[in-house]
Chains A and B, each alone.
Chain A
Amino acid sequence: MATYDWIFDTLGLRGWCDGSGGEDGGGSAPMSMADLMNQAGNAPERTIWDTPFPSMDALNDACASFPQSRELTRGLERGFLDIKDALSYVLDPLTQPLSWALSNALSLFQSVPWWIMIPLLALIVLVISRSWKLMAFVAGSFALLAFIDYYDYAMQTLAIIFVCAFICVLLGVPIGIAMSRSDKLQAGMIPVLDMLQTLPPFVYLIPLIFLFSVTEPKLYGIAIILYAIVPVIRLTNLGIRLVDKEVIEAADAFGMTKRQKLYGVQIPLALPNIMAGVNQTIMMSLAMVVIASLVSAPGLGVLVLRGIRNLELGVGLISGLGIVLLAVILDRSTKAALARVNAAQKH
């Protein structure tokens, strides 16, 4: 018999074990590999070295009524499926604007002709960075992507990132400010943020696939936002908490209201940190947009996926390099803006 029979015997649970499970002889649970081996007749001798950990499966061997571990995952799945309808009833309309924003941005970025789009992007970079060199680099990079016919894919990726990063900032900065004001909220939020940041990106996708239709843009939009919003929240919170206590005291001493203090002192002084958070958020949405191509996010990620699926080495490599190029463009532009903010308020 199984190793852990004695547990149920000493606890006097043998009756419970056999009561429900005994009827169909050996339990309703599907057979494990070990059961099959046992049935084959040559059950191996159990030595102390083979003692299994008292896991759910091992205990199930001893007592058929004890659930197997697969019951746990299946239970979770059933639970999720049960609340799924109610959940999507609430979430669907709430997230609908995200779908609109994404599909509109995608069509906008693709419908504007290249001879307007590339100069426009270069101009934006020039305005935020005040650097001709960076502007030339950006214009050159997009021209190169267009030359190898990857322009459309790059624009799709860019559109998704713009929308998602914008929403991240829109939601993340207020959350960060609220966290900086309440130690309790901070204590509650930090584990959530830690989890969002360490959960493997693919894991976000699984429940989202159940909740939303794969054809809808918001599916990947939510995945990207959940993954990328963390740094902007963290750094807004940190930035505001790091504002010089003396300056805050001075603001109080001159009779500033809470609002005046927030907009006139705390946010401006936390801006370098907030900008660093925005930079990180953009970088992380770029990372996620590739993974999100698994759930129909358009853009360069699709080409990477094609490279893997069809073993098209060239396509995979070139689109990968295209993503690197986009990353460099976005990073340099936001860092240049950050450097300008920093220079304006050195201590």
Chain B
Amino acid sequence: MADPKISIRNLYKIFGEDPKGALTHAKAGMHKAELLDQHRHVLGLRDINVDMAPGEITVIMGLSGSGKSTLIRHLNRLIDPTDGEVWVDGDNIMTYSEAELRKVRRKKMSMVFQKFALLPHRTVLENAATPMIVDGEKRSAWEKEATKWLDRVGLEGQGPQYPHQLSGGMQQRVGIARALTSNSDIMLMDEAFSALDPLIRTDMQDLLLELQRELQKTVVFITHDLDEALKLADHLVILKDGEVVQQGEPQHILVNPNDPYIVDFISDINRARVLRARTVMTETADAPADAAGSVDENATLEDVIAQAGGDTDKTYRVTRDGQTVGTLPMTDVVRALVPTAASEDGMRKAS
């Protein structure tokens, strides 16, 4: 892997009267429940180590209280850690002064918020231009840039409106345009789509993927929704009680969950929509003679089933850039739709 854009090293965050004192217990191996029970301190994050590659979407997923919103706020130091380091572009931002930090926030990182957090007294155009206005740019400069990004996210002509005149989905588009106007490499998205209706949410996810193909930013995306996480993630980090339970390529986590918590999580999802041909296929360079056709390695099983018309006798050739990389019998496809045996013994069954 290339040098990570953002690298989180041994990050701890403890809330309470004496975080430093409680830190020693956490480092000695105490977990969230025990720390709260015995020392009355809330463990926010415990020994987090994550590398985020440039140009990738890293999704941090977990239920509420798992520490994911706390974690993302450490990346631009809206929250300071109790212990640990955050490296951005090879610099440890924990050593930054307030002025340096402001520069990072203006130039390197932008943020999109769950509840949009637009300035209600400013127009949509002024809101989208916030990063440049904050940086002291002239109106002529920011007006052009902000208009460009508003147009790009599908808000042509909405500039003079006020945020309250727009729907939730449109307000979040303004939020995204605002993040893009800063021209930062890194975009932090804190449950950016969680407050939106399901249909609009899908729209916004598509918009983000489309923008990402074009702009190749380093995106850190927080969500509690596994479907969303699987759709967006290049790298998936699953948090539970302030600790990383598993991280890696989403397809890999899906077929090799290493924790009952994750098994539970993934037992609910629509596997046909998230599993991809390359995950299920048998690797081989030789095309089978009786192949009924070819599918791209990134096609979802849903696509494959649709292509086969529901016929389970067929076998497909899986291709990457036109080259055959494996075979995919439909029987394997159908088998892959059944959750792994492990999930039968998952936590939820037990309780």
Interface residues of B in 282-305 (CB under 8 A from A): none
A266 to chain B, nearest CB (A): 11
CB 8 Å contact bits of A300-318 with B (1 = contact, 0 = none): 0000000000000000000
What is the CB-to-nearest-CB distance from A256 to chain B, in angstroms, rounded to a whole number?
A: 5
Kindly identify which residue among B114, B120, B164, B182 contacts A254, using a CB–CB cutoff of 8 Å.
B182
Scan residues 243-267 of chain A and give those whose CB is less than 8 A from a CB of chain B.
Answer: 244, 246-247, 249-250, 252-257, 260, 264-265
Q: Is the CB of A250 within 8 A of B121?
A: no
B240 within 8 A of A: no
Interface residues of B in 108-154 (CB under 8 A from A): 109-111, 113-121, 130-131, 134-135
Q: List residues of chain B with CB within 8 A of the CB of A271.
A: 121
Enumerate chain A residues within 8 angstroms of B135, measured Cβ to Cβ. 255
Contact A252 B106 (CB under 8 A): no
Q: Evaluate whether A249 and B78 lie within 8 angstroms (CB atoms) in the complex, with A255-B106, A255-B134 already known.
A: yes
| Distance in Å: Cβ of A238 to nearest Cβ of chain B | 18
Query: 1/0 per position for B174-189, CB-CB distance to A under 8 A?
Result: 0000100010000010
The yes or no answer to A177 lying at the interface (CB within 8 A) is no
Q: How far is the CB of B66 from chain A (nearest CB, A)?
A: 20
Contact of B113 among A250, A255, A260 (CB under 8 A): A250
Residues of A within 8 A of B105 (CB): 252-255
User: B121, A345: Cβ atoms under 8 Å?
Assistant: yes
Chain B residues with a Cβ closer than 8 Å to the other chain, count: 29
Q: Total A-B residue pairs with C-beta atoms closer than 8 Å?
A: 69
Is there a chain A Cβ closer than 8 Å to B76's Cβ?
Answer: yes
A246-B115, A346-B164 as given contacts; A253 in contact with B121, CB under 8 Å: no
Given contacts A254-B106, A254-B110, A260-B134, contact A347 B120 (CB under 8 A): yes
Instruction: Given A249-B113, A260-B134, verify A255-B121 contact (CB < 8 Å).
Output: no
Assembled-state Cα–Cα distance A257/B106 (Å) = 11
In the complex, whether A26 has a CB less than 8 A from a CB of chain B is no
- Say whether B117 contacts A250, CB under 8 Å: yes
Complex CA–CA separation, A253 to B102 (angstroms):
8
Q: Is the CB of A265 within 8 A of B119?
A: yes
8 Å CB contact of A250 from B104, B111, B182:
B111
Quick one: which of B109, B110, B120 contacts A345, CB cutoff 8 A?
B120
| A313→B162 CA distance, assembly (Å) | 55
Answer yes or no: A36 CB below 8 A from chain B CBs: no
Residue pair A247, B119 in contact (C-beta under 8 Å): yes
* Contact partners of B348 in chain A: CB under 8 A: none
User: Which of chain A's residues have a CB closer than 8 A to the CB of B113?
Assistant: 246, 249-250, 253
B residues touching A (Cβ–Cβ < 8 Å)? 76, 78, 101-106, 109-111, 113-121, 130-131, 134-135, 162, 164, 178, 182, 188
> Other CB < 8 Å A-B pairs besides A253-B109, A269-B120, A346-B164, 13 of them?
A246-B116, A246-B117, A249-B117, A252-B78, A253-B105, A253-B111, A254-B105, A254-B111, A254-B182, A255-B131, A269-B121, A271-B121, A344-B162
